[in-house]
Homo-oligomer: A and B are copies of this chain.
Amino acid sequence: MPDNKIPEIVISRLPGYLQILNQMARKGKRIVSSQELAKLSNSSAFQIRKDLNYFGGFGKKGSGYQIFFLIDSLQKILKIDRVWQVALVGVGDLGQALINYMGFARNGIEIVLAFDENPEKIGKKIGPLEIKDIKSLETEICHHKVKLIILAVPESIAQNLVDKMISCGIKAILCYTPANLLVADDIRIQYIDPVKEIQKMTYYI
């Protein structure tokens, strides 16, 4: 079980560190200092050392971090040293792009179920994945024991679908629907909303 004392904000920064470390590893780099990691992650060396110290530190003072060891450790901590099967709910333009997104497979994320309510889409295949009727959502989610879903449906039906899936045991939602979902505290949600991200920048232009 994860140690609940680790602040959420620390966990949320680890995937960013991991991405940078993977990029360095691909370039053949073996050792990285907290200063270098800080520069690329828009953070401070102090912050990086403090974050990593929650898990034991991973390095001797002054000698930097072994990149492969740190990647391996962070993957274990984040539980991404395995394949995660996810269900995609809503196969519009974005949903289709996500099914075709190579970044998922490269990072151990496998879309094993896809649902839509459009009769013209139901039964169609995108690669090996058949789009299923959204009416079978609960049965399929329960049967496949999927814990993680990607939501890309219109706002009007989002909350209702989420309530149903939570009753089938899902624990985490990557939400592309611009909604504010109400869920119990033990359900994780991360939102992706390009409009909001753009609106964080226009102030400065």
Q: Which residues of A contact B (CB under 8 A)?
A: 2, 11-12, 14-16, 18-20, 23, 40-41, 77-80, 84, 86, 92-94, 96-98, 100-101, 103-104, 107, 109, 147-148, 150, 171-172, 174, 178-180, 188, 190, 192-205
Contact = CB atoms under 8 A, between A and B. Distances in A.
A183 to B, nearest CB: 11
14 contacts: A14-B199, A18-B199, A19-B180, A40-B180, A78-B203, A80-B202, A97-B97, A103-B178, A103-B193, A104-B194, A147-B205, A172-B201, A188-B200, A190-B200
Nearest to A98: B194
Given A14-B200, A92-B97, 20 more contacts: A11-B200, A11-B204, A14-B199, A16-B196, A19-B178, A19-B180, A41-B180, A77-B203, A78-B199, A78-B202, A79-B205, A80-B199, A96-B97, A101-B194, A104-B194, A109-B195, A172-B201, A188-B200, A192-B192, A192-B194
